[in-house]
Structure 1
Amino acid sequence: MATMVVHMTLLIRSPTVVGYNGYNGCTHDTTNKISYSCGEELRARLYSSVQKYKACGWSEGIKRTYRTQLNCFQTFCELLDLALVPFSADNVCLYIAYLVDVKSFKYCTIVNYLNIIKHLHKANGVEEPISGNWQIQKVLNGVRRSIGDAQKGAELMTPRLLLIIKANLDLNSQNDICIWSACLMGFYGLLRPGNFLHSGKYVEHRDIQICDVHYHRNGYVIELQWTKTVQFRERKLNIVLPSIVGHSLCPASAIKELLHFHFKRGAKEDAPLLCNLSYQMFITRINSILISNDVKQHITGHSFRRGGATWCLRIGMSDSMIKDIGMWKSDAYLRYTEVDLSRIFDIVQSFGASLPPR
């Protein structure tokens, strides 16, 4: 069984090859050309390079996802004494039932977990059994009809919640000003949590540094080096944080105070903007504050992205502008916005009032 997954594990493991620096997989030093003494040595070195470039083919986030899916699939195959590759359509149907009845996964999760079977077969040069298979599609349709396909988005961050959070932070503390700055960056920038918070070790050139913050006469601009939709350094994206003088939710004021803390302690320009603030530390503190204030919503990193996008929609911002600010390449932004029921009533009432009385 182990030999069947070797190609896949090479692709999704954390790279240990020379040239890996954690920034989206690898870097390439064009100054160090391959040296070789014979054709066999050249072949070996080129083969090593091919493995390195394959390992860089997926982002670290995608690799983590596939590692989780692979572990689940391996466990299932061990329980039923099945080979991972090749895998029959009948066994795929059994795996789908396993994901529903044993793992209690949602429908969308089940569909995603089938991806590892496709990739395992492609990595081993074997035709994958899922695409276009009538039997598998019928089982998936049955699962969808049985358990539903409703997807509940993250709880919305709102201006009211932001004010509660601010009231419970000590903005004279560097740790708390980091948390407050992160809140406003996520809300105003419609940011994914991975864009402004690190989940593990800080990674230079990927996580936001002090030098990525630029002063503007109307506030500050934060330059993102890497996002989910910009993984090949083909362009940089700017997060605009306006100055709203005297407003409790002014993001420029928070960034100004944060920079003041950094400069006071002599921080270098390549130091992390949010110090050592991790995703887990941030979310834990935010939810702790909300719980202590009897707020029932459980906040996640995506709460800021959804909340900001929904507020943009509420104030009448155009769809195209919401997509631009949130860096959406498709209409996926629609899953992040939530139309307020009172706004729908207002629109329908306007519709009714415009009708002729008789």
Structure 2
Amino acid sequence: MEDEVTLCVGEEAVRRWAHAKKLSSRTTDAIINMGYTSMEALSLLTEEDVTDCQDIPVGQRRLLVHSSVGTFPLGPAAASSDRDRNTNGTNQNSASIGPCAPQNANCSQPDQATGPSPEVQENEFIRNVLGQLHGPIPTSDSGLTPFSTWALDARLRTLRGSMLAPSTKKTYGSYLRTYISFCNYLGIPIVPISTLNLCRFVAYLSLRLSFMSIRNYISVVRLLHLEMGHNNPIDSYLVESTLKGAKRLLGASTCPKLPITPLLLHKMRQTLDFHNPPDLIFWGVCLVTFFSFFRKSILLAPSWGLFDPKKHLSRSNISFDSSGAVISVTWSKTIQFSERTLLVPLPHIPDSPFCPSCILKLIFRLYPAPTHHFPAFTYCVNSHWCIVTYNWFLQKLKHVLSLIGVDPSKYSGHSFRRGGGLFCA
């Protein structure tokens, strides 16, 4: 179990992060040669470091700075970028990388720097577009700056591509591949599909899927047709009657995972060695998930490279007081557009191994992160930082459940949310 965690540390973690950010292997080698051989070190990267490295092409320098600011929005690179915009506001069309952060920049004081605001991100887009156009752009009679149709179309594609959440895109991609394979097998066009062929697709899915899954799969057929300007093919008596028959034949019942109860938590704790860092962090995730009702998409990132402090729980999201801890989040499954801040209290349970605020405070004191925007559930072993991913947590959970004689196939990460809800009811 521990080997799987340590795969994402040191140079390997930096290389995975760089690969996820579309950085070239030449750029990755240059980063490591500069001494940034861990995510802990990479969080201290400054624009001056990037500018002084002649082994990195200009385009890759820009991408490296942009990726560093996105992953570490409170780090020196982000602080330098914000200061550069404030002091050089009149030079919006400049194509060079701005001045570096001061040498005494302290990443351990994140309250002295702020992440890029939506206005700053918009200015970056405008500056990039203007830099690719030739010559000055005249002002129209209406007072608006006329962009080229190419720039507007690029912006339009960005807006359209942001319509769905990344997790939804991934799910729809699976549905789409199944639908395309079905059409190719029958030799029929993907769009538009006839009513009879769509009913055949439902019949094909009914041989291996539940009724609720069939509904999900044909949703991508509807989306494809609407995107191509066609009518919704599901709005048909023949299709609706076929779906009704599938529902009657297959049933609409679901098999939700069982809840993690306090009794199960007690048995699980007896199998853990709290002198072992992964076991300690695992227990922390269990308690926070149980008492906060958070979904996996908030608590744990898929990897170092995919960690997003705006979406995943970081140490800056957690504060402590005499009554326990408070977690503040601005993104979740039900808060997709950061329209509000959700404050979730974690209780303080004196002299109890089930106190979520105590275990969090212990983790933070044993493994103090160099910056507050580090993932909440990380620990340091032999000067290398390790991140707990959801896949590792799920495998660890199944292993622990099997040790106490419980069928792990009946439980998942969502079991903590269900168990916590039942415990508070």
Q: TM-score, normalised by structure 1?
A: 0.76
Aligned to 2:323: 218
Distance 1:238 1:202 in 2: 21
Q: Does 208-217 or 89-98 show the bigger shift?
A: 208-217
Aligned to 1:317: none
5+ unaligned residues in a row in structure 1: which ranges?
A: 1-13, 314-358
% of aligned pairs identical?
25
Distance 1:254 1:67 in 2: 39
Q: For residues 299-323 of structure 1, give each alpha carbon's deviation from its aligned partner in whole angstroms, at most 9, with x where no partner exists.
A: 211111111112222xxxxxxxxxx
How many Å apart are 1:27 and its aligned residue? 6.6
Q: Which amino acid aligns with 2:156?
A: V
Q: For residues 99-139 of structure 1, give each alpha carbon's deviation from its aligned partner in whole angstroms, at most 9, with x where no partner exists.
A: 011xx1111010011110111011111112112x1111111
5+ unaligned residues in a row in structure 2: which ranges?
A: 1-19, 23-62, 74-116, 139-145, 379-386
Aligned to 2:123: 31
How many Å apart are 1:267 and its aligned residue? 3.0
Q: For residues 210-259 of structure 1, give each alpha carbon's deviation from its aligned partner in whole angstroms, at most 9, with x where no partner exists.
A: 11110122000111232111111111212211101022311111111111
Q: Is 1:136 the counterpart of 2:247 in the alignment?
A: no
How many Å apart are 1:190 and its aligned residue? 1.2
Q: Is 1:112 the counterpart of 2:235 in the alignment?
A: no
1:50 pairs, out of 144, 156, 173, with: 156
Q: How does 1:77-156 map to 2 (within 5 A)?
A: 77-101=183-207, 104-131=208-235, 133-156=236-259
Report the count of equivalent residues. Answer: 292
Distance 1:139 1:30 in 2: 48
How many Å apart are 1:41 and its aligned residue? 6.5
Distance 2:424 2:408 in 1: 20
Q: Which amino acid aligns with 2:123?
A: T
How many Å apart are 1:297 and its aligned residue? 4.4
How many Å apart are 1:174 and its aligned residue? 2.6
1:62 pairs, out of 168, 188, 192, with: 168
Distance 1:239 1:52 in 2: 33
Q: TM-score, normalised by structure 2?
A: 0.64
Aligned to 1:277: 388
Distance 1:161 1:297 in 2: 12
- Superposed CA RMSD in Å reads 2.5
Q: How does 1:252-291 map to 2 (within 5 A)?
A: 252-263=357-368, 266-275=369-378, 276-291=387-402
Q: Is 1:308 the counterpart of 2:411 in the alignment?
A: no
Q: Specify the SS of the correspondent of 1:58.
A: coil
Q: Specify the SS of the correspondent of 1:145.
A: helix
2:340 pairs, out of 235, 247, 251, with: 235
How many Å apart are 1:15 and its aligned residue? 11
Q: Residues 27 and 114 of structure 1: is their aligned pair in 2 closer, same or farther, counting only changes over 3 Å?
A: farther
2:285 pairs, out of 163, 177, 182, with: 182
Q: Residues 233 and 122 of structure 1: is their aligned pair in 2 closer, same or farther, counting only changes over 3 Å?
A: same
Distance 1:262 1:196 in 2: 18
- Whether the 8 Å CA contact 1:15–1:55 is kept in 2: the answer is no
- Whether the 8 Å CA contact 2:268–2:404 is kept in 1: the answer is no
Q: Specify the SS of the correspondent of 2:325.
A: strand
Q: Is 1:162 the counterpart of 2:265 in the alignment?
A: yes
How many Å apart are 1:206 and its aligned residue? 1.6
Q: Residues 27 and 119 of structure 1: is their aligned pair in 2 closer, same or farther, counting only changes over 3 Å?
A: farther
Distance 2:213 2:174 in 1: 12
Q: Residues 252 and 41 of structure 1: is their aligned pair in 2 closer, same or farther, counting only changes over 3 Å?
A: closer
Q: Specify the SS of the correspondent of 2:255.
A: coil
Aligned to 1:248: 353
- Whether the 8 Å CA contact 2:282–2:393 is kept in 1: the answer is yes
Relative contact order (alpha carbons < 8 A, sep ≥ 6): 1 or 2 greater?
Answer: 2
- Whether the 8 Å CA contact 2:272–2:279 is kept in 1: the answer is yes
